Amino acid sequence: MVSKTVTIKNATGLHLRPAGLFCKTAMMFDSNIHVEKIIESDRMQSFSNAKSVLSILGACIKHGDSIIISCEGHDEVEALEAMVKIVEDGLGE
């Protein structure tokens, strides 16, 4: 399993269009990909399935929120690189 913490940069957070792009990217990989939203420095929200738009929308991830993207599977390194890149590139906005 590999993971990385990233901060949401786009002004609108993960609303429907960016969440769809995020999930579409996750679905390109066989690995299980999950997202944790950091609520406080030591506490985290439960896992969200990165391949489910409803799960991502339900996490209410907004601009400036930090998330941990975790990938597990045979293509986990490539999956993590792609997921981090899409977030760092502003999720298409």
15 in active site:
yes
Distance CA 9, CA 90 (A): 6
Distance CA 75, CA 45 (A): 25
Would you state the structure tokens that stand for residue 44, as one six-digit string?
């985290």
Catalytic: which of 15, 34, 63, 74? 15
> Using CB atoms within 10 A of its CB, is residue 2 exposed (0-12), middle (13-18) or buried (19+)?
middle
Q: Do 21 and 86 meet the contact criterion of CB atoms below 8 Å apart?
A: yes
Catalytic residues: 15
